[in-house]
Amino acid sequence: MSIPLVTLLGRMTLAFLEAIGSVTSFALQSVRCALQPPWYRQQILRQMLEIGYYSLPIVGLTAIFTGMVLALQSYTGFARFSAESAIPNVVVVSLTRELGPVLAALMVAGRVGAAMAAEIGTMRVTEQIDALTTLSTNPYKYLVVPRLIAGVVTMPILVLIADIIGVLGGYLVGVYKLDFNDQAYLRNTLDFLQFQDVFSGLVKAAVFGFLITLMGCYHGYTSKGGAQGVGTATTNAVVSASALILTFNYFITEAFFAR
Amino acid sequence: MTSKISLRGVTKSFGPKKVLQGIDLDVAKGESMVVIGGSGTGKSVLLKCVLGLMRPDAGSIKIDDEETVALADGGRADVMRKFGMLFQGGALFDSLRVWENVAFGPIQSDGMKPAQAREVAIAKLGAVGLGPEIGELYPAELSGGMQKRVALARAIAREPEIIFFDEPTTGLDPIMADVINDLIVKCVSDLGATAVSITHDMASARKIGHRIAMLYDGKLIWQGRTADIDHSGDAHVDQFINGRAEGPIRMQVRRL
């Protein structure tokens, strides 16, 4: 009874370590390729448009309702202690430090990570990636690097926009539903906001952008076995990116704010 | 005569499964070699090893007397410059138009200007019997036979010294298969290229091959001139070329 359990545990541990090793070597290879020419500028621009611009509606929607619900929830709590004036501050700090980057990244992981894994996975199973190699084009440089660069560059911009839209959501609920003075709300928002609150959120965004695109590319690149393999790759890309986002979020927060 | 491609003792295993067990093969310059063998006998693995898409476990693969097995990125890209490859499913880039597919190598790898590469692409499409209007379509809009032609145009776009054909006629009707065979013969002789094809279509093998080698159980069990294949004296070869279910070859069930 106990022997099969130990075997299973050992097998799972080995598989886990093997996956970590494989992802790490994929990431190192990609970064090495990213540092050497040629760079495919057109591909980078296309991916930036795909990741940044086309994600704006969904990220904006997420941000505005998050800001609104934050204001509403903290009001119902803080009113008990007559601490309503802290609400603008709670909204802006929660958004810039945590909810802006994390929720935007989770939405982008679902939208972009999945699409990347499916596209690259299909290219893998239809031999298009091998075809790139035979045309003297390094698939890491042509497929992976542009996505990684686009992810790292556009996610912070996306999160900055999400922060602003989220604060706007909080402002709308605060002023029009909870009867805050509009001047006072804005003043309370900006007075307590520190550079580090926003900056840590943008660093998170860049890291999450890397993780999302890395997972999308890795799972697509290593997929095999036809349509089913591509389906599995897509699921794995989203699940692993989401898990990594939440994990890295904790450690980046600790690096910035733990004393 | 020196060999364009020379393989010595090439082996490749996947786990416990020994796919290639010591392949020795020489292909002379300008020669068209066809490797035949049943499904799952490792023909594709052999081709991928020569192309550098897979690394053999042991053995030597020389192209123009240059050892290629251990080549890294830069040197590999230089060797790739000599190759053209026609993939079994075409492997056309579906996000690009037909002419962009054909012009991909010249533009991305050789730094040709798009306008000039477009003319090259249209010329190559003409060489495989397709008009310039086809160039504006996307690969998904083409039939299987048309896709094969475009893939052939892409394979010859950089005027390679060596062209590989991976089951060029699989999935085509007999007439279209013969059209593709004719095009392959014509393109190879026009370019003066060396060709290596893998196929299990004997009509195709007889038509495009100067020489034929048969892969069975990880080894090349017979090789010789195309004209000699009907009296090879090998029971395996006889069974294969006559397509008989009964004989020394047992069918591989699991794919490699």
For B239-248, the pLDDT digits (tens) are: 888 888 877 8
Residue B62 has φ and ψ, to the nearest 5°, of: -110, 135
Q: CB within 8 A of A161, min separation 6: which ones?
A: A56, A59, A60, A63
Q: Which of B225, B252, B223, B227 is nearest to B237 (CA)?
A: B223
Q: What is the pLDDT of residue B242?
A: 83
Q: Structure tokens of A164?
A: 């602003």
Tell me what percent of the residues of chain A surpass a pLDDT of 90: 75
Does residue B110 sit within a domain?
Answer: no
Contacts of A46 (CB under 8 A, 6+ apart): A146
- pLDDT of residue A1 exceeding 60, the answer is no
Give residue limits of the domains in chain A.
Answer: 40-257
Would you say residue B147 lies in a domain? no
Residues B123-136 as b/e (b if ≥16 CB within 10 A, e otherwise) read ebbebbebeeebbe
CB B50 within 8 A of CB B26: no
Average pLDDT score over residue span A13-27:
93
A243's tokens: 């898990």
DSSP assignment string, A62-127: HHHHHHHHHHHHHHHHHGGGT-GGGHHHHHHHHIIIIIHHHHHHHHHIIIIIHHHHHHHHHHHHTT
Say if A36 is an interface residue toward chain B (CB within 8 Å).
Answer: no
Whether A42 has its CB under 8 Å from any CB of chain B: the answer is no
Residues 6+ apart with CB under 8 A from B189: none
Could you report the predicted ipTM of this complex, rounded to two decimals? Answer: 0.85
Q: How many domains does chain B have?
A: 1
What pLDDT is stored for residue B90 in this prediction?
Answer: 86
Neighboring chain A residues of B89 at a CB cutoff of 8 Å: 126-127
Q: Indicate the helix (H) or strand (E) that contains B64.
A: none
Instruction: Report phi then psi at B225, rounded to 5.
Output: -70, 150
Q: Where are the alpha helices (DSSP H) in chain A?
A: 2-34, 41-51, 56-78, 87-94, 100-108, 114-125, 128-134, 139, 145-176, 182-191, 195-221, 226-257
The sign one gets for the Cα dihedral B46, B140, A39, A56 is: negative
Is B245 in a helix, a strand, or coil?
A: coil
Q: What is the CB neighbour count within 10 angstroms for residue B46? A: 27
**Looking at the domain assignment, is residue B2 inside a domain?**
yes
Q: Name the residue range of residue B22's domain.
A: 1-81+205-256
Pick A135's closest partner by Cβ from B53, B94, B109.
B109
Q: Which of B48, B79, B104 to mutate to test the interface with A (most CBs of A within 10 A)?
A: B104
- Residue at token pair 């004719």: B182
> Who contacts B70 (Cβ-Cβ below 8 Å, separation ≥6)?
none
Neighbours of B157 (CB within 10 A): 26
The β-bridge partners of B13 are B18
Side by side, which strands form the sheet with B66-67?
B17-28, B3-14, B58-63, B66-67
Mean predicted confidence (pLDDT) in A232-256: 95
> CB–CB of B7/B50 below 8 Å?
yes
Contact map slice: A 141-160 vs B, CB within 8 A: 142
C-alpha angle A207-A241-A253 in degrees, rounded to nearest 5 = 45
* Per-residue pLDDT, B253: 55
User: Could B53 and A130 be called an inter-chain contact, meaning their C-beta atoms sit closer than 8 Å?
Assistant: yes
| Per-residue confidence (pLDDT) for residue B252, from 0 to 100 | 55
Domain CATH for B34: 3.40.50.300
C-alpha B203/C-alpha B134 separation (Å) is 29
Q: Rounded to a whole number, what is the distance in angstroms from the first to the last CA of chain A?
A: 47
Q: Is A137 on the interface with B (CB under 8 A)?
A: yes
A135 interaction partners in chain B (CB closer than 8 Å): 80, 104-105, 108-109, 154, 158
Least confident of A2-6, A172-176, B17-21, B160-164: A2-6
10-residue mean pLDDT series, chain B (256 residues): 83 87 89 87 88 88 86 75 88 92 87 88 88 91 89 90 90 86 88 90 89 88 86 83 79 55
A88: cis peptide before it, omega within 30°?
no
CB contact under 8 Å between B84 and A134, yes or no, is yes
> Does some domain include residue B137?
no
Closest-CA residue of A relative to B85 is: A134
**Percent of chain A residues past pLDDT 70, beyond the cut:** 99
Tell me: pLDDT of A166 over 90.
yes
Cβ contact, residue pair A127, B88, below 8 Å: yes
pLDDT for the residue B16:
85
Q: Which residues of A touch B165 (CB under 8 A)?
A: none
Does residue B126 fall inside a structural domain? Answer: no
Kindly report, residue by residue over A80-133, the tens digit of the pLDDT.
888 888 889 999 999 999 999 999 999 999 999 999 999 999 999 999 999 998
Residue B38 in any domain: the answer is yes
The β-bridge partners of B211 are B33, B225
